[in-house]
């Protein structure tokens, strides 16, 4: 009959194997008659190579040591020696020559059988070694120190971890660290893999492992800056510094900057909206005045209309001053460099200002040095703005006498001609203690100046800033009660080409017949009548829509050469209407040029117009010549339009793919929305995608599965970072198939889907790059 204790041991075989216990049993001869199955797994030896005397030969590092232990067992069983009840440690030799540390406990059964039970404590012994190493480091540095194995499991954590984060060592050992400090398990896995690759494979991924935002035990978050180094026995050491205060300061600075920018944006939007409201009726005043001037008029009527037109242009100039001040303050004003007739510009300004001078019965004189060049390169609009301000001020503060404007050539440098503009008046002058403040915003020479003479004190501020932008300078001399003289010097480049006034006027003659079919989308009735009248004089057929929805419906039913689209409208604005026409109608309709009509001068609004598909823009109130030029540019002089175009049945394949393939939310959060960093990341990822596609083609052609596995494994973290959710399962499936070299017969179906999605991803990211560059 079998030994009862031995039967119990065999009956418990599954349990012993499950808990990884070594169990051996010896008879009175010292031979081993039972070895648990777990021993085979731990030592590498089969059971047959450990039964009998083989245990003492194979499980020890020398035969002498094995026989010594065997003799001790025999002596215990014969009663010649006593058995120790205390556990002891002894190395167990493995089949591959290595060893495992085992903690042994010996006992004698009732029927005089020797039983020894061993627990594998090798990992614990390694942890003890690491602990000694870590304690030495801890004594020298006051930082958070974590030791992890090659799988990323935490083996040791310094007391500073509990101090900084609130977690006890037991709460973060093993893989618990990654579960408690990150809410998102996927993000935790990405960071862990990136650290392991960096420490052991010396490779860097897109994932930033230098710093991380981690959760503390009380639910707060801290920013930790990390340094990594290899430790002993395939471990790595992570040293963490709390940089939460530094990051919070950066965030606060960023918020303050955003608040300031938002405040500036609100101000700019308010000014833009107000200018729009003023310019809309002003557009009608100037426009209808132009139309009337083209009709048969008496000399008196023409004079009145010209004064009316000049007044409208002065008002438009004042609006521009307000907008320009906002732009100058935010450094958004752009300077032109075009060829223009300097003499004609000056004469036009004097002609306009003479009306005001005559009203006050003072003389306005103009002196132009014959050596002053006629045709120059520069910004005529800004020059006019400067001179209108200076001459206007001189007239306003002169009650008797004269204002004299002198233009003269000073010198010629290698690239430019320096020209002086002097405005001399016999007005009230400026007090000596105020002369240095006249260029300040909202500043006037005396406190009652605004009440007596009017004005806001903005003019000279704008003048000073504009002259600086034009690389010029301005000085002022004055004697209180006798008058002032403002002298500004501006550089211009000569243009030897001469353009006569008759050539300019012929270019916009009402005899020109454009013959275009035009859709005018405009909600202001006055502007509708004005534009329709002007366009019909150029032999254009005009349809009118009162808002964006009506505009879209008309485009659905008709074909047009050009669409003139107001941006700011009720019901549906011009941006949204343009997007629908460009993206949701037929291909032919999407090709119609759409011209934005706007009273705004914001670069952001103009950029938005281009982004939604508009071809060009024109500011209201627009000049007749500007409108004519833009119609010729996009519509030509005659139309090839087929009036009764049959309706095109739109198929699904004509619809653009609007599905979003990327999600940059995580990327933007991690980079604090810094455009420079985003730009670098996107550019690098686009390069990686191109490299990946090349490797994919090569690997499939050569059936090099290892190459393909490496490529898919490398690109996988980046796919996650850029939020390409549709591609993630495909890349994951491909990685597994290439790694295990299984299910490769239908691999081309998966790779084709992969290539198709990457195509859409590249388009989205290239568009994102354009937006970043334009901001």
Q: Mean pLDDT across the stretch 297-314?
A: 77
**Cα–Cα distance measured from residue 630 to residue 562, given in angstroms and rounded to the nearest whole number:** 10
Contact 493, 378 (CB under 8 A): yes
Bridge partners of 774, per DSSP, are none
**Cα–Cα distance measured from residue 495 to residue 497, given in angstroms and rounded to the nearest whole number:** 6
Any idea what DSSP says for residue 539? T
- CA nearest to 516, candidates 531, 536, 501: 536
| Residue 446 scores a pLDDT above 80 | no
Q: Across the chain, what does the average pLDDT equal? A: 80
Higher pLDDT, 267 or 518: 518
pLDDT category of residue 15 using cuts at 50, 70 and 90? low
Q: Using alpha carbons only, what angle is made at residue 766 by residues 763 and 772, rounded to the nearest 5 degrees?
A: 145
| Residue 172 scores a pLDDT above 60 | yes
- CA of 383: how far to CAs of 377, 504, 658, in Å? 12, 20, 47
Q: Model pTM greater than 0.85?
A: no
- CA nearest to 294, candidates 29, 510, 517: 510
Lowest mean pLDDT among 9-23, 232-246, 378-392: 9-23
Any idea what DSSP says for residue 173? T
For 76, what's the count of Cα atoms within 13 Å in the CB-facing half-sphere?
Answer: 22
Contact 712, 734 (CB under 8 A): yes
Q: Mean pLDDT across the stretch 135-150?
A: 74
Q: Could you give the domains of the chain? A: 4-120 (3.30.450.20), 125-242 (3.30.450.20), 335-431+465-502 (3.30.565.10), 507-642 (3.40.50.2300), 665-774 (1.20.120)
Quote the distance between the C-alpha of residue 656 and its chain's center.
24
Q: Could you give phi then psi for residue 340, rounded to 5 degrees?
A: -150, 160
Contact 401, 427 (CB under 8 A): yes
- Strands of 208-248, DSSP E: 211-215, 221-230, 235-242
Higher pLDDT, 232 or 391: 391
**Cα–Cα distance measured from residue 672 to residue 692, given in angstroms and rounded to the nearest whole number:** 28
**Cα–Cα distance measured from residue 690 to residue 712, given in angstroms and rounded to the nearest whole number:** 13
Lowest mean pLDDT among 73-77, 589-593, 768-772: 768-772
- CA of 169: how far to CAs of 141, 148, 173, in Å? 19, 13, 6
Contact 33, 51 (CB under 8 A): yes
Q: Which residues contact 76 (CB under 8 A, 6 or more apart)?
A: 82, 83, 106, 108, 114
DSSP string, 669-686: HHTTT-HHHHHHHHHHHH
> Tens digits of per-residue pLDDT, 613-642?
999 888 776 677 778 888 888 886 443 343
Lowest mean pLDDT among 97-101, 252-256, 755-759: 252-256
pLDDT category of residue 19 using cuts at 50, 70 and 90? low
Contact 428, 448 (CB under 8 A): no
Between strands 517-521 and 541-545, the pairing is: parallel
Peptide bond into 621 cis (omega under 30): yes
Any idea what DSSP says for residue 652? G
| Residue 329 scores a pLDDT above 80 | no
Conformation bin of residue 79: beta by default, left when phi > 0, alpha when psi is -120 to 50: left
Higher pLDDT, 674 or 7: 674
First to last CA, the chain: 91
**Cα–Cα distance measured from residue 544 to residue 532, given in angstroms and rounded to the nearest whole number:** 8
> Tens digits of per-residue pLDDT, 745-763?
878 888 888 998 998 899 8
DSSP string, 711-748: HHHHHHHHHHHTT-TTTHHHHHHHHHHHHHT-S-TTHH
> Most confidently modeled of 384-388, 506-510, 552-556, 677-681?
552-556
Residue spans of alpha helices (H) in 294-401:
299-329, 342-359, 380-396
Any idea what DSSP says for residue 445? S
Q: Mean pLDDT across the stretch 57-77?
A: 91
pLDDT at position 554: 94
Q: Mean pLDDT across the stretch 268-286?
A: 69
Q: Mean pLDDT across the stretch 45-55?
A: 92
**Cα–Cα distance measured from residue 494 to residue 373, given in angstroms and rounded to the nearest whole number:** 7
pLDDT at position 551: 93
pLDDT at position 415: 76
**Cα–Cα distance measured from residue 493 to residue 447, given in angstroms and rounded to the nearest whole number:** 41
Higher pLDDT, 541 or 670: 541
**To the nearest whole percent, how much of the chain has pLDDT over 90?**
18
Between strands 417-425 and 483-494, the pairing is: antiparallel
pLDDT category of residue 584 using cuts at 50, 70 and 90? confident
Lowest mean pLDDT among 12-21, 52-61, 330-339, 673-682: 12-21
Q: Could you give phi then psi for residue 254, rounded to 5 degrees?
A: -65, -40
Q: Mean pLDDT across the stretch 198-208?
A: 81
Contact 485, 424 (CB under 8 A): yes
Contact 283, 621 (CB under 8 A): yes
| Residue 280 scores a pLDDT above 60 | yes
pLDDT category of residue 256 using cuts at 50, 70 and 90? confident
Residue spans of alpha helices (H) in 141-221:
159-165, 169-172, 176-180, 185-196
Between strands 375-378 and 338-341, the pairing is: antiparallel
Residues composing the chain: 775
SS3 call for 309: helix
**Cα–Cα distance measured from residue 269 to residue 621, given in angstroms and rounded to the nearest whole number:** 19
Quote the distance between the C-alpha of residue 234 and its chain's center.
40
- CA nearest to 709, candidates 751, 739, 744, 745: 739
**Cα–Cα distance measured from residue 660 to residue 215, given in angstroms and rounded to the nearest whole number:** 31
| HEC profile of 489-500 | EEEEEECCCCCC
Contact 459, 321 (CB under 8 A): yes
pLDDT at position 651: 34
**To the nearest whole percent, how much of the chain has pLDDT over 70?**
80
Burial letters 690-717, b for 16+ CB under 10 A, else e: eebbebbeebbeeeebebbbbbbebbbb
**Cα–Cα distance measured from residue 748 to residue 754, given in angstroms and rounded to the nearest whole number:** 10
- CA of 611: how far to CAs of 596, 607, 614, in Å? 12, 6, 7
**Cα–Cα distance measured from residue 49 to residue 62, given in angstroms and rounded to the nearest whole number:** 16
Any idea what DSSP says for residue 465? H
- CA nearest to 594, candidates 626, 654, 551, 553: 551
Higher pLDDT, 168 or 435: 168
Q: Which residues contact 523 (CB under 8 A, 6 or more apart)?
A: 546, 547, 566, 569, 570
């Amino acid at each position: 009959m079998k030994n009862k204790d031995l039967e119990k041991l065999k009956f418990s075989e599954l349990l012993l194997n499950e808990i990884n216990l070594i169990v051996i049993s010896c008879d009175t001869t010292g031979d081993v008659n039972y070895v648990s199955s777990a021993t085979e797994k731990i030592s590498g030896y089969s059971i047959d190579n450990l039964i009998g005397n083989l245990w003492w030969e194979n499980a020890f590092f020398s035969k002498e040591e094995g026989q010594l232990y065997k003799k001790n067992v025999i002596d215990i069983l014969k009663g010649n020696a006593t058995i120790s009840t205390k556990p002891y440690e002894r190395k167990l030799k493995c089949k591959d020559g290595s060893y495992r540390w085992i903690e042994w406990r010996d006992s004698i059964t009732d029927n005089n059988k020797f039983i020894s039970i061993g627990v594998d404590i090798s990992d614990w012994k390694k942890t003890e070694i690491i602990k000694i190493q870590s304690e030495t480091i801890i004594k020298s540095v006051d930082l958070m120190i974590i030791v992890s194995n090659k799988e990323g499991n935490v083996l040791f954590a310094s007391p500073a971890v509990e101090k900084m984060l609130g977690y006890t060592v037991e709460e973060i050992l093993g893989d618990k660290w990654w579960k408690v400090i990150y809410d998102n398990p996927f993000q935790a896995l990405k960071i862990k893999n990136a650290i392991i690759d960096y420490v052991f494979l010396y490779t860097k991924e897109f994932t930033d492992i230098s710093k991380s935002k981690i959760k503390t035990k009380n639910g707060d978050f801290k920013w930790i800056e990390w340094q990594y180094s290899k430790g002993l026995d395939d471990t790595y050491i992570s040293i963490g510094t709390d940089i939460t205060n530094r990051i919070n300061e950066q965030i606060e600075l960023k918020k303050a900057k955003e608040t300031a920018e938002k405040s500036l944006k609100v101000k700019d939007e308010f000014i833009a909206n107000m200018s729009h409201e003023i310019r809309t009726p002003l557009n009608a005043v100037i426009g209808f005045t132009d139309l009337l001037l083209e009709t048969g008029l008496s000399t008196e009527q023409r004079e009145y209309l010209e004064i009316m037109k000049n007044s409208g242009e002065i008002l438009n100039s004042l609006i521009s001053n307000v907008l320009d001040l906002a732009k100058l303050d935010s450094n958004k004003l752009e300077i032109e460099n075009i060829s223009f007739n300097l003499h004609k510009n000056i004469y036009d300004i004097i002609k306009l200002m003479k009306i005001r001078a005559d009203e006050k019965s003072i003389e306005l004189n103009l002196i132009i040095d014959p050596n002053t060049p006629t045709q120059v390169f520069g910004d005529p609009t800004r020059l006019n703005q400067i001179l209108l301000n200076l001459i206007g001020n001189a007239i306003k503060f002169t009650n008797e006498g004269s204002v004299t404007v002198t233009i003269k050539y000073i010198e010629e440098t290698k690239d430019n001609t320096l020209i002086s503009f002097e405005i001399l008046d016999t007005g009230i002058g400026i007090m000596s203690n105020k002369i240095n403040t006249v260029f300040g915003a909202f500043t006037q020479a005396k406190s009652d100046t605004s009440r007596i003479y009017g004005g806001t004190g903005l003019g000279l501020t704008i003048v000073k800033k504009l002259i600086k932008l034009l690389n010029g300078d301005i000085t002022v001399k004055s004697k209180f009660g006798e008058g002032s003289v403002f002298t500004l010097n501006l550089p211009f480049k000569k243009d030897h080409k001469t353009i006569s006034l008759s050539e300019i006027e012929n270019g916009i003659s009402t005899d020109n017949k454009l013959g275009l079919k035009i859709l005018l989308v405009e909600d202001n009735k006055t502007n509708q009548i004005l534009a329709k009248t002007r366009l019909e004089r150029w032999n254009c057929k005009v349809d009118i829509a009162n808002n964006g929805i009506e505009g879209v419906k008309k485009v659905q039913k008709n074909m047009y050469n050009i669409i003139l689209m107001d941006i700011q409208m009720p019901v549906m604005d011009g941006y949204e209407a343009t997007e629908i026409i460009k993206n949701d109608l037929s291909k032919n309709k999407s090709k119609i040029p759409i011209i934005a009509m706007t009273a705004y001068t914001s670069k952001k609004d103009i950029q938005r117009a281009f982004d939604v598909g508009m071809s060009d823009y024109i500011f209201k109130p627009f000049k007749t010549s500007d409108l004519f030029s833009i119609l010729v540019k996009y519509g030509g002089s005659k139309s090839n339009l087929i009036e009764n175009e049959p309706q095109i049945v739109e198929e699904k394949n004509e619809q653009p793919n609007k599905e979003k393939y990327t999600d940059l939310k995580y990327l933007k959060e991690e980079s604090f929305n810094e455009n420079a960093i985003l730009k670098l990341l996107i550019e690098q990822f686009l390069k990686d995608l191109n490299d990946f596609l090349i490797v994919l083609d090569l690997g499939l052609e050569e059936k090099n599965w290892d190459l393909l596995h490496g490529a898919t494994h490398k690109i996988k973290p980046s796919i996650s970072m850029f939020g390409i959710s549709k591609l993630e399962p495909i890349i994951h499936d491909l990685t597994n198939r290439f790694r295990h070299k299984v299910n490769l017969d239908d691999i081309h179906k998966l790779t084709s889907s992969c290539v198709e999605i990457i195509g859409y991803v590249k388009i989205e990211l290239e568009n994102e790059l354009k937006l970043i560059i334009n901001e």
